Amino acid sequence: MAGWQSLRVDLRRLHEESPGALVVWPSPDTERREPPFRIELAAWATEIAATLNATYGTLVDLHVGAMTYPAGQLSERAQAFQLHAEPAESAGLDVETLSPLSVRTGRSTREDVLVTNRAAHEQVLFSNGALTSAVTDSAGTSNLNESISSATARISP
């Protein structure tokens, strides 16, 4: 099984050859590190995770998107960021994209949306300039494998 010296070479190569695949990784500039080496990959980088897992096994603590790899369990960090809110419709808000939206599995997007207040009272949206949303099924259950990262909101009265 390979160790830190070969992993640091692989991390540099991955950073160069697969832009955006590495989300969080140990600095390859450090001479010595102790395993396990936590590596977080973009949700689309499952093939890279498989290669790292086959090469380094238990020396790496792999996460692909919101899931651990290879176990496929929701990571504790992802659970903390799950949306815990009511659907916009139940609050009297309509939300619609301003252009057709298409998101590939494992990817995220930023799109403009129009938020319309249909309630009889004023609504206030607190935001840092981005509203985060998630794709849900008809039962209102969030599907993390198909989440929309964020959307810039335009609010109409």
The pLDDT of residue 80? 54
CB-facing half-sphere around the CA of 141: CA atoms within 13 A? 3
Domain parsing of the chain, residue ranges: 4-78, 88-156
Residue 151 parent element (H or E): strand 150-156
pLDDT band at 146 (very low <50, low <70, confident <90, very high): very low
pLDDT confidence band for 52 (50 / 70 / 90):
very high
With cut-offs at 50, 70 and 90, classify the pLDDT of residue 81: low
pLDDT digits 0-9 by tens, 121-130: 888 777 666 6
Read off the pLDDT band of 145 (50, 70, 90): very low
| Stated pTM of the model | 0.58
